[in-house]
Structure 1
């Protein structure tokens, strides 16, 4: 589709409006369950180890929406739930910024127990996952791979403990930090560092193997694992890696992308902001997708997982005029959804991220849907709008809705941001991009969801991290 036609299609849906009609059900995500991860939809920040950002759980029901902010005096980017239904949050306190794990009450969201970890880099310790034994797996600032369990003592009190630990110091330099990790189908833990090291760790044999990607390529987001291998997107290219017999990572394919001329406002690195997403109509792993960082407009890039062959490159986020996304795309069936973050006012960026060009910009937002054609010959933009998502949206294949939090401007009709902006939980129709219903959850900086991912809990509650704690959104 030529650019003019894409722009015309974008203008067909140019804003978020309220509607009462039920959405058409999206294609069911069939990403395979990883035997070494927790339940699909709640095991990782992006739902599963393929980072599909889908969930098989239905969100809040049709009743009256309500929300409660459980204040933890911390930013909580990761809220996961194991098979025992207990949420586990990985948070960074405002004071001291020492990563802290919280076990949350599944009914109220209150903290039942906490455990502090060794402090590392800004993004170190942000990404974690729940394993098949309901333990949080994370790498702390000492470069140790930890499995953190939650246990009840004889008096009924909960406690969090490090049940297993393996040092990665032999593979991770002292001036580096792990930014992403995910288990493979053999039980190894893959990890990637900001400096471009990719490795595997087997904490049953204490074996650690690693390789370094080309000099100058940094890894600023998490990684994704599927039966075919591990997808890693650096600040220059997307890779699929597999492991040799001894666990040493090796590159199966590499696809460079347009990283633009500089970091943009609303981006945390100079390059793609995507954790790569596996998706597809046959087994949920047919394709890998990211969003590039081209200067004038960004494009969704789709590759065949088996070969790395390019399927398409489609301009997205056209209606919002916001060329940038720090969020992982959502992938379900043949459909991909992209939320824009251009201009989002992050309070801090990682060390070495570089200055943004321009120095700042209004928060543009934007949400786009792209479908891969049934014959795999290319992709088409289905809709494109100006919805301003302030969080990583999640697609429920159970209720057929996109769930997220919107950040509205203090002055309607503008694109600026302020410390008094209102925030709304919203459910969006994936077939049209229109907001089906929404609920004000708070006004002001305490409710800033800072482009963090939400999680649908087994009881339907939507758990959303903020800069001060965890929101619990429910329906009566």
Structure 2
């Protein structure tokens, strides 16, 4: 299993110096359509003259057609569903009840924060953005105005170890995941194998608590993700497979090592449900964990999945690239890493059942299918995005892109069925669904023979799989979202984190 000091992906074709140069030289303009505008917090980089050759909007505005789904339970130790984490809620549904943009006279604004990407975004009780943003220098917690995108406050988090040899474009050790509590406290992992509690104050952001976890994990390991269970215990997960619980009041820690003999690692976020289960996928197996009477983590059940023969281009590891997605009271879905096609795998997550595997169904193109982003839960279905071919920002420069494919799989009483496959190309976005209007959003980049790197927010009809509309965000490498997610704010406004800042997209006035 690679340690923290080992690059997670094969050598990048474009070094950090080249990337910084590309970000400085690439065009940023996204304005031009009637009723659209683009602004920037920092002075904007001059627009590329090639923008005039790029379509700003394709398709037509949609009519809202809500998707019916059992309302997710509200986790008592998380901010309201849709506001609390990268994957929206404790179930990692990646779906919102609110209606997102329908495509009507779309207004696009942007902010540049230097070479800094805000991978995890949450929304506090005042509807402001609280984001954990990382760049070459390290990580910063930022409080951001949701309309102007102006930074309101910043708090520097522990920086990267620049001598470690880890590739900062793919290093997920701390600084990626955090969750927001009901009282607007952020519980975040750090690069120093600790957990910080950050609170908003009258004068900005402040660290009000921290817990050192390094004494409880092996040397060279690092904390990747954190989440609370329904009792309020904070769980943490390390890249080399250690799982732990933390009592924030007493500081007591209990740990369990998963799959040490075969080097199992953890590269994704986790989920939890109201029965006490915490769900994590390693590079080898799917686990349900529960806490014992002393808060000691224990394995309730585990199932190996097909991890394939290689680490596919587009993956951070040889294994599943998804966080477990929970549906209803029974199902849980992940992807495997099988050859020659990735499968969606659905399990019965409950305790004590004899038939754990419900279905395993192949999706996306043969020989070119994988995803490093979680599934979207929509009604009785999940939606997967193909990331095959994305290895670094250089993979999508000079008009190039990755393998297309977005698919919906229906979970039926006696198995699963592929409902549709869309041919959009979405290199690395964490797609999001809007149950309020029946659209799923992906961040797409069609390949172009003219060498222009044009990035779009694309809306797809969840029922039919047809592309409804695509709206240009900008042209150039800095518009690459590089594994960051799409988010919908409390009012339905869409936000996309990019390598250099944020993009905001909303419908124009009715």
Say if 2:434 is the partner of 1:396.
yes
**2:459 is matched with which residue: 405, 424, 427?**
427
Look up the SS of the partner of 1:387 in the other structure.
coil
Change (3 A) 1:247 1:278: same
Change (3 A) 1:276 1:348: farther
Once residues 74 and 458 of structure 2 are traced to their aligned partners in structure 1, the CA distance between those partners, rounded to angstroms, is 28
Once residues 144 and 167 of structure 1 are traced to their aligned partners in structure 2, the CA distance between those partners, rounded to angstroms, is 4
Question: How far has the Cα of 1:348 moved from its partner?
Answer: 9.7
**1:225 is matched with which residue: 250, 272, 276?**
272
Question: How far has the Cα of 1:146 moved from its partner?
Answer: 1.1
**Contact (CA 8 Å) 1:195, 1:218: kept in 2 or not?**
yes
Task: Provide the residue aligned with 2:491 in structure 1.
Answer: 459
Query: What is the CA deviation profile of residues 52-107 of structure 1, one whole-angstrom value per residue up to 9, with x for unaligned ones?
Result: 1011222135531122221111022111112221111111123x2x1111100122
Matches within 5 A, 1:249-398: 249-279=297-327, 284-306=328-350, 307=353, 309-318=356-365, 322-347=368-393, 363-373=402-412, 376-390=413-427, 391-398=429-436
**Contact (CA 8 Å) 1:29, 1:333: kept in 2 or not?**
yes
**1:81 is matched with which residue: 81, 98, 123?**
123
Question: How far has the Cα of 1:132 moved from its partner?
Answer: 1.4
Task: Provide the residue aligned with 1:126 in structure 2.
Answer: 176
**Contact (CA 8 Å) 1:301, 1:312: kept in 2 or not?**
yes
Task: Provide the residue aligned with 1:137 in structure 2.
Answer: 187
Once residues 291 and 324 of structure 1 are traced to their aligned partners in structure 2, the CA distance between those partners, rounded to angstroms, is 8
Task: Provide the residue aligned with 1:247 in structure 2.
Answer: 295
Once residues 393 and 158 of structure 2 are traced to their aligned partners in structure 1, the CA distance between those partners, rounded to angstroms, is 22
Once residues 407 and 347 of structure 1 are traced to their aligned partners in structure 2, the CA distance between those partners, rounded to angstroms, is 12
Query: What is the CA deviation profile of residues 144-190 of structure 1, one whole-angstrom value per residue up to 9, with x for unaligned ones?
Result: 2111111223xxxxx11112222222322341111111111101111
Look up the SS of the partner of 1:449 in the other structure.
coil
Say if 2:144 is the partner of 1:104.
yes
Task: Provide the residue aligned with 1:441 in structure 2.
Answer: 473
Once residues 381 and 404 of structure 1 are traced to their aligned partners in structure 2, the CA distance between those partners, rounded to angstroms, is 19
Say if 2:193 is the partner of 1:170.
no
**Contact (CA 8 Å) 1:276, 1:288: kept in 2 or not?**
yes
Once residues 152 and 474 of structure 1 are traced to their aligned partners in structure 2, the CA distance between those partners, rounded to angstroms, is 30
Query: What is the CA deviation profile of residues 320-361 of structure 1, one whole-angstrom value per residue up to 9, with x for unaligned ones?
Result: 863111111112331111111000242499xxxxxxxxxxx9
Query: What is the CA deviation profile of residues 268-312 of structure 1, one whole-angstrom value per residue up to 9, with x for unaligned ones?
Result: 111110111111xxxx24111111101210100000011470000
Question: How far has the Cα of 1:384 moved from its partner?
Answer: 1.2
**Higher mean C-alpha displacement, 262-271 vs 340-349:** 340-349
Once residues 75 and 454 of structure 2 are traced to their aligned partners in structure 1, the CA distance between those partners, rounded to angstroms, is 38
TM-score normalised by length of structure 2: 0.80
Task: Provide the residue aligned with 1:211 in structure 2.
Answer: 256
Change (3 A) 1:265 1:335: same
Question: How far has the Cα of 1:435 moved from its partner?
Answer: 1.5
Question: How far has the Cα of 1:459 moved from its partner?
Answer: 2.4
**Contact (CA 8 Å) 1:29, 1:332: kept in 2 or not?**
no
Matches within 5 A, 1:40-51: 40-51=81-92
Once residues 174 and 27 of structure 1 are traced to their aligned partners in structure 2, the CA distance between those partners, rounded to angstroms, is 48
Query: What is the CA deviation profile of residues 8-31 of structure 1, one whole-angstrom value per residue up to 9, with x for unaligned ones?
Result: xxxxxxxxx946664643232522
Look up the SS of the partner of 2:309 in the other structure.
coil
Once residues 113 and 448 of structure 1 are traced to their aligned partners in structure 2, the CA distance between those partners, rounded to angstroms, is 25
Task: Provide the residue aligned with 2:46 in structure 1.
Answer: none
Look up the SS of the partner of 1:446 in the other structure.
helix
Query: What is the CA deviation profile of residues 373-396 of structure 1, one whole-angstrom value per residue up to 9, with x for unaligned ones?
Result: 1xx221111111221124111111
State the number of aligned residues: 429
**2:227 is matched with which residue: 182, 185, 192?**
182
Look up the SS of the partner of 1:452 in the other structure.
coil
